Structure 1
């Protein structure tokens, strides 16, 4: 692996992003219903994030996408809170500090957009991800915020920006 780069998504990345996310979700045994797997936006991530106060990033290594994540306004929530969305990395990208770099990139974008807090939902068995989130400053909260449609994700976390 060379030195991967984190960059904003381009329209040409849509297919690779959908492939990365679905591959990771299947690998981790995540339900296909009530998670990002079933999101209609998954096949058109560039278009989904091409709006104010939203940004999606990809990790590219030698022309191949090996990870992705983004931030956008938390759905169905009227306060100034964004959500860290669809953060997934192929196995070859894990354990190399890329997740921490991506997290910083996303939170920097959220701060630049002026959000007050960032929210995330995840699965209980995604322990490595939760360790990254807590190291970054996320804390566990008692229940969901907004309505993301991800009813199969019972772990909720929040960070003040």
Structure 2
């Protein structure tokens, strides 16, 4: 069983390592992905800089070890829309339903913050994630103009209201 809380500076190194390891495993350690985001090593500063528009939740195992996380932030490409960001888990935490729990945290935050839609961008290499997004009510859309990561090739939207 995991516990969840908002990110702190002490979490930055652990979550950056988890994110990079996942991207390397799926051959997405290339430009145009989160791998090269300038804020990746200081996610807590990035998300805390605008707490009314951004949040990042950390997942902790029973020993208090960081095993994953998910973010949500205002998405400028669509009206009243937040973006699901950086949903990653350590390999030991995968396959146990934790991604669903993290997505629910982000979705609940977005709804409470007044957003009516939740957007995400991902890549076809992440086949398990694609299936999860569709099971949870995300529908594939055309590529928006305001894409954050140019290498991504799948774009989804979910109505929150």
Provide the residue aligned with 2:53 in structure 1.
53
For structure 1, list consecutive stretches of 5 or more residues without a partner in the other structure: none
Provide the residue aligned with 1:140 in structure 2.
140
TM-score (norm 2): 0.93
Count of aligned residue pairs for this structure pair: 157
Provide the residue aligned with 1:71 in structure 2.
72
Once the two structures are overlaid, the 10-residue window that deviates more, 5-14 or 76-85, is 76-85
Give runs of aligned pairs for residues 31-110 of structure 1, distance below 5 A: 31-50=29-48, 51=50, 52-61=52-61, 62-74=63-75, 76-77=76-77, 79-110=79-110
Provide the residue aligned with 2:157 in structure 1.
158
- 8 Å CA contact 1:31, 1:152 repeated in 2: no
Shift of residue 116, structure 1, vs aligned partner: 1.2
TM-score (norm 1): 0.93
Provide the residue aligned with 2:121 in structure 1.
121
Shift of residue 64, structure 1, vs aligned partner: 1.6
Shift of residue 11, structure 1, vs aligned partner: 1.5
| In structure 2, distance between residues paired with 1:160 and 1:78 | 12
SS of equivalent to 1:96: coil
Shift of residue 122, structure 1, vs aligned partner: 0.6
| In structure 2, distance between residues paired with 1:11 and 1:48 | 10
SS of equivalent to 1:99: helix
2:6 to 8, 21, 26: 8
For structure 2, list consecutive stretches of 5 or more residues without a partner in the other structure: none
Once the two structures are overlaid, the 10-residue window that deviates more, 34-43 or 60-69, is 60-69
